[in-house]
Amino acid sequence: MAACSSCGASLPPTARFCSSCGASLADEAPSEERKVATVLFADLVGSTELAGEQDAERLLPAFGEHDPATITVADVQEWVGANADLKPASLSRYMATLRLILDFAGVEPNPARDVRVKLPRIETAIVEPPSAEQVAAIIEHVPARWRRSLRVLEQTGMRVGELAQLEWRDVDVAESRFRIRHGKTATARRWVGVPAWLMVEVQETCPPDDRTGERRVFQGFSADVAKNVMARACKAAGIPHFHPHDLRHRYASVKIAEGVPVTTLAAQLGHSKKSMTLDTYSHVLVD
């Protein structure tokens, strides 16, 4: 057994890093036989949790008996082709694990990071927002205290987090609009128009004397609340499962169908005009 020069811990002769203190053993005298891959993978899975059990099951058969320094770009690409049965997103995750493993092993350049390694393209699923009838069914099956919250999301295209943080000082009744102050970008910090009839309903939720500036308009509302109540409502209504963000997609789709210019829609949604095109919300609704 070899010993670590930093902490004195006993190590197998093929180790390149100390399992006790993590010190590099690169300067130690190399052994005649170098088979470190199996030990390296076991160490990573057990201590750093960079790869789960399933990752190891996919990676070990191909690379488990290799010295990491001998793995080539061709080896990595061959593994990608041999695992074509996996979904593109899963392949991408396994590749990320392999990159970290080879980084940890000190392989430079890292073949798993080489631009010549080609992964299948991850196709973005086409978003299918709820129809008017489905929204009505959701609202009907949601507890009364959350109905206006979801209706605001559907009628304004606001993000769930934006609505959850809305305070009464952000409500402009005269102009029938809400101010979004907590956006991460200047584009996201904006005024959002609200239908007049809906503004009346929002005001009914709180007496005028209680509308202090920092009081939340929709108290208790959060992303988790919205997700949970919508999931239960969809199940109760017997319709496909929809997420609160789908209400934002519905708003965009309806506005596109109405002929609203993309630049105007981008401003309402808090999107960058450069990043939003008609393709962003190509799922136009007709209902």
For residue range 191-228, list pLDDT tens digits in order: 999 999 999 999 999 999 999 999 999 999 999 999 99
Helix (H, G, I), strand (E, B) or coil at 26: coil
d(CA 180, CA 201): 19
- Helix, strand or coil, per DSSP, at residue 216: strand
Closest C-alpha among 281, 246, 286 to residue 262: 281
pTM: 0.57
Helix, strand, or coil (residue 108): coil
pLDDT (tens digit per residue) in 238-271: 999 999 999 999 999 899 888 888 888 888 898 8
pLDDT digits (tens, 9 = 90+) for 84-138: 888 888 888 888 888 888 898 898 999 989 999 888 887 666 668 899 999 999 9
Name the token pair of 149.
């919250």
Phi, psi of 216 (to 5 degrees): -70, 140
Share of the chain above pLDDT 70, in %: 78
Residue 177 has φ and ψ, to the nearest 5°, of -155, 160
